[in-house]
Structure 1
Amino acid sequence: MNTSTLVHIPVDGVTVEGMLDIPEHALGLVLFAHGSGSSRHSPRNNYVAGVLREAGVGTLLMDLLTPEEDRDVAQRFDIGLLTQRLLAAARWAHGQPIARGLPLGFFGASTGAAAAIEAAALLGADAAAVVSRGGRPDLASRAALANVSAPTLLLVGGWDDGVIELNQQAYDQLACEKELGIVPGATHLFEEPGTLEQVAQQAALWFAGHFAPIPHA
């Protein structure tokens, strides 16, 4: 049985809205960082989140920008701002009784992938795993790419020209446990039949395989 709750997360004087879903006996919690122009209502990320929950992983889908902020294209690419919002959401989630003690992971798409890597680098051992879907991890700082310790999976479509090379550049700078997965026959949005399913299954395996219970003090 899932516990699904519409949540409001106060951060930077604004309120970030999200949907928190925690399966019974959850293995961990994954925070979703959406890409430029997307939202927590994204059908693709909601599909992936559903597969994660079937695998026993909790999810928090949220809008890192308010509707007003999202109308400013520059803010969609403000990796520093997105990272701070993601960190605030992580702190908020760990303060919720239903999520307390759960290992934490990040799932980033497009520009959200850079924010996920930056957040994981800052959290250090408190971040358990990162997955990027068609992301731009190359937009993360060199310091973050070098310092992130959470096992990181970069998933890219085989027909996503240009983005494969950018992911390879970021992959080469990662010093953590890492994997670069190319999904054959997929373009940037993984709209081709069966490709998003592959992303979701690989993400679920990655998170479930790297989540281990955090011992209570």
Structure 2
Amino acid sequence: MISDLVMVPTGHATLTGDLVVPSRAQAVVLFAHGSGSSRHSPRNRALAAGLHKEGLGTLLLDLLTEREERGGTGTGRHTADIDVPAQRLVGAIDWLANHPETRDLPVGLLGAGTGAAAALIAAAERPDRVFAVVSRGGRPDLAGDALQRVEAPVLLIVGGSNEAAVDLNREAARKLAGPHRVHVVPGASHLFPEPGAMQEVSTLAGDWFRAQLRQETR
């Protein structure tokens, strides 16, 4: 297994990430967190560990630089704007295509919160590299017109206790041109802290990525 702290150049910013690639990995999943989170999120760490057991690599990436996190110039704009993290994800996808440990691996995207919208935009920009997308408690509606250009199969996971979020995810799903599914976790809230909820999310994400990989190899 490869486990490295990496620096990922993405246009005007170089981002810090944690890259883990199990032996004989079938794909690598790039995480896109929402505003206020980071690659150190315990929820993303738990999801990544579950994907490693499924033979999938992961890249957990800080979408803001240290200066932006400290409140430097442009921080508010970067955290509020979907386009900036989306373009940084595109840069990370391109970086993975050139990294010796991942260049032969298809890329999956796993987004949370506003990061889900950024992931969908990035998937629309790189249809030849992204084989599947999973949204965890995300705001896919913020991807706007990009939804109609996403070719990769998309799984939208949303907590059932937030009816507004369920409606937003279902509305976004109707705009997706490619294969997609909305899965509602009964009784779960936005961050899935309820007993068993995050484990269900992990199982759903792993199953979705593996199922799409099987389709890719047919």
- Give the TM-score category using the shorter length: over 0.9
Is 2:105 the partner of 1:106? no
Aligned residues of 2:93 and 2:129 also touching (Cα < 8 A): no
| 170, 173, 179: which one aligns with 2:172 | 170
Q: Structure 1: where are the runs of 5+ without partners? A: none
Query: 2:182 matched to which residue of 1?
Result: 180
Q: Identify which of structures 1 and 2 has the higher relative contact order when contacts are C-alpha pairs closer than 8 Å and 6+ apart.
A: 1
Identical residues among aligned pairs (%)? 47
Once superposed, what is the RMSD of the aligned Cα atoms? 1.5
TM-score (norm 1): 0.94
The code of the aligned residue for 1:182 comes to V
Cα distance, 1:199 vs. partner? 0.3
CA deviations on 1:104-127 (whole Å, 9 max, x unpaired) are 110000000001000001111321
Query: 1:19 matched to which residue of 2?
Result: 18
**Distance of 2:66 and 2:166 partners within structure 1:** 31
**Distance of 1:123 and 1:212 partners within structure 2:** 20
Task: Report the more deviating stretch, 189-198 or 159-168.
Answer: 159-168
Q: 3-state DSSP class of the match of 2:163?
A: coil
The code of the aligned residue for 1:61 comes to L
Q: 3-state DSSP class of the match of 2:15?
A: strand
| 201, 204, 210: which one aligns with 1:202 | 204
Q: 3-state DSSP class of the match of 1:19?
A: strand
Cα distance, 1:213 vs. partner? 9.8
**Distance of 1:67 and 1:171 partners within structure 2:** 34
| 124, 137, 150: which one aligns with 1:134 | 137
**Distance of 2:108 and 2:10 partners within structure 1:** 20
Cα distance, 1:67 vs. partner? 2.8
| 191, 194, 206: which one aligns with 1:192 | 194
